[in-house]
Chain A
Amino acid sequence: MARSIVLRAFLLLPIAFVAAFLLAPLGLTIAVSFWQRVGLSVRPAFVFISYLTFFDSVRFAVLTRSLLVSIEATVLSLFISYPIAYFLAFKTRPDATRLVLLLFTTPFLVNYVIRAFAWTYLLGRTGPVNALLTSAGIVNRPLDWLLYSDFSVLVGLISSYMPFMIFPMWLSLAGIDRALIQASWLLGASPSRTFFSVTLPLSLPGVFAAAVFGFVSCFGESAIPVIMGGVGYQLMGNTITSAMDVLNYPLAAAMSTIVVLAMAVLLLGWYLVFDMRSFLGKVLNWRT
């Protein structure tokens, strides 16, 4: 009995930690978003002025852009990372898989700001990519749109977060019961039909997990748009920072709340559509 109480108390620690350091600040952020700005200070209130300001300004366009860019980057990343995860799950030896997965983590040993700066060097007008293209006669003059454009922001986002998206999809694919795939073959299904009817549906929890991870990361990104985005390219992180620079905390909090709500909707969808216990169960099953 005493042991059970100690165990429960021990389990309460992470809950208390999350409540203190995650939920409380989140609740405070939501509360501040309704507060009133008075001069340089804020006063507790329940007004919607910050939300009205947000929806009535260019910042709403930034939200729209953030959503679109994040969706684009996430979808493109899925198309790139899914085949890699599939190959690692079905076509390579376990030791080779481990090595490749390890290699995918190595870029993250370099600070992401430095990585973004490296891209600006590579993609600039006088950078190696343009030099190669012009010297090979593929283009007559350096391509301006390689850098400081939508394209370069996508390159930055995809290169930053796509490798992370491989892991949940690999977990999901590797956890699929091979007997189900073999059964499909035995029943005469073609490889493509087997993939679309068996493998892909069973890997969807991992795909969605990867998508959520990629989307959330891209949506909150602020360094890559600044470094690679050109003339004032902004995502939500940038416009929130900008509001804070003039001490408009209610507006910054309102925008943060909207971002959190968008994320919450995504996570709720994930929770409702997929049974995570079965997803984890498959992973555990694969590991044994």
Chain B
Amino acid sequence: MSTLSRPTRRDLMFLGAASGLSAAMTTLFATSARAGGTINFADIGVGDPDGNWSRYSKASGFNVNLVAIGNAPSAILNTLVAGGGTASYDVINIVGGMQKPLVDNNLIEVVDTAQLPNWAKDKNIGEFLGKGKPGFNFIGYQDKVYGVPTVLQGDSFAYLPEKTGNLDSYAALFDPKWKGYVALEDNYTTAGQKTALYLKHAKLAQITNPDDMTADEVKTVINFLIDQKKKGQFRVIWSSFQQAVDLIVNREVYVIDCWEPMVFVAKSKGVDAVYADPKEGYLLWAMAAYLTKNPNRSLETTKAAYQFLDFMLGGWYGAKITVLRGYMTNTDAPIYAKEHADEFPAGDAQKVADITANVRRKFAQGGTWQNRWPTQVDVYESEWARFKAA
């Protein structure tokens, strides 16, 4: 996921914004019908179950007011600081790994996982995101839990087999055979990190840790990318969901560093695109729902916010989000979808099971965890600017 686009997962956000608006309207009209209050939920467009919060509302007596926000660090901090967001929102659901700036600016609360019955049920947390695991950086900071994982995914790249044959390495992004037919994401924490993973595996550069490179390592990666750029390897650097989908669907490029849901969309448009299973592994990431530090929030609302976080770890919500967005959520989701045919038809239940199994396989295979806020984040940003300006 990207700092620029993941923040955005822009297209998803735009898609979600409309449904978010409708959700907000729905809850607005429904408010008077219930005695409880409202959970103000800021989301980047991925966490909206099509405006259907009735299960949560029925259980808690609270409504949900969903507001679409951007996922760029600046957008999030602007929302929470300049926009008075901690007083406006109770929960924010964004791509995780943002704990350092959020905690250092006193914007989010430590999550008491004991208040989340579904926390222990979600095997994904224990296996991939718990303390001591590399994925902990997506939800924790300084040994404390701040985020509740809502979505997990492993990214690689997509290709058109009719043009390229089978591809199984990030080397395809830099293969001269596809010169001029390759696209990268405009994001140093995705494209940059995948490049680092490739260079490390191919022993083309000394990179100790692709997910938190030193300044010199970042420069090595960018020098490599600039060299590729000057050779004409890349057609474009994309920055929105729709742009990437169009590149695949219009066959403007044959190999593209992108997100798996883009391949789902391309396939739905009749394009035989494949999301690669690279031997170097995946770029792993997770979305996290954070509890904002709202000084005015009542104990009752805080309790409802915890119920909301627990609801997001539940089977129904997880299955719904997987069906709608194509991302793995929690391990209860496929079970719930299979057991509730009235709510999830066989096709949807199978989709949830397939996506969950596929993403869990990716996580088992490993790769590198995306780092949204690397130690040398300023160097990453300025070096990426150098690449783009070269």
Which residues of A does B touch, CB under 8 Å?
Answer: 39-41, 57-59, 61-62, 65, 117, 120-121, 124-127, 144, 147-148, 226-227, 230-234, 239, 242-248
Contact = CB atoms under 8 A, between A and B. Distances in A.
Contact of B252 (A59, A124, A232, A234): A124
B378 A144 contact: no
Given A117-B246, A246-B377, A248-B381, A230 B4 contact: no
B246 A121 contact: yes
Given A57-B385, A230-B235, A247-B73, 4 more contacts: A58-B389, A125-B250, A245-B73, A248-B381
B390 interface: yes
A231 B378 contact: no
B382 A231 contact: no
Interface of B: 3-4, 7, 72-74, 77, 100-101, 104-105, 180, 186, 229, 234-237, 239-240, 242-243, 246, 250-252, 377-378, 380-382, 384-390
Contacts of A62: 385, 389
Contacts of B77: 247
A148 B390 contact: no
Q: Which 9 A-B pairs have the closest CB atoms?
A: A232-B388, A58-B389, A244-B74, A246-B381, A231-B234, A58-B386, A148-B236, A232-B237, A230-B236
Given A40-B104, A124-B250, A234 B74 contact: no
Given A231-B235, A232-B390, A239 B243 contact: no
B180 A144 contact: yes
A65 B389 CA distance: 9
A239 B386 CA distance: 10
B377 A231 contact: no
Given A124-B250, A242-B384, A227 B243 contact: yes
> Which of B7, B77, B380, B389 has most A Cβ within 10 Å?
B389
A247 to B, nearest CB: 6
Contact of B186 (A147, A148, A226): A226
A245 to B, nearest CB: 5
5 contacts: A40-B104, A57-B382, A61-B389, A126-B250, A242-B381
Contact of A234 (B101, B382, B389): B389
Contacts of B72: 244-245
Given A126-B250, A227-B243, A245-B4, A234 B385 contact: yes
Contacts of A248: 378, 381
Nearest to B101: A40
A242 B386 CA distance: 12
A232 to B, nearest CB: 3
A61 B385 CA distance: 11
Given A126-B250, A227-B243, A246 B73 contact: yes
Contact of A231 (B3, B100, B229, B386): B229
A203 B388 CA distance: 40
A248 B105 CA distance: 15
B80 to A, nearest CB: 12
A71 to B, nearest CB: 18
Contacts of B387: 232
A248 B389 CA distance: 19
Contacts of B100: 40
Contacts of A226: 186, 239
A231 B74 contact: no
A62 B387 CA distance: 12
A104 B73 CA distance: 39
B118 to A, nearest CB: 32
A148 B387 CA distance: 16
A62 B378 CA distance: 18
B182 to A, nearest CB: 10
B186 A40 contact: no
A37 B103 CA distance: 18
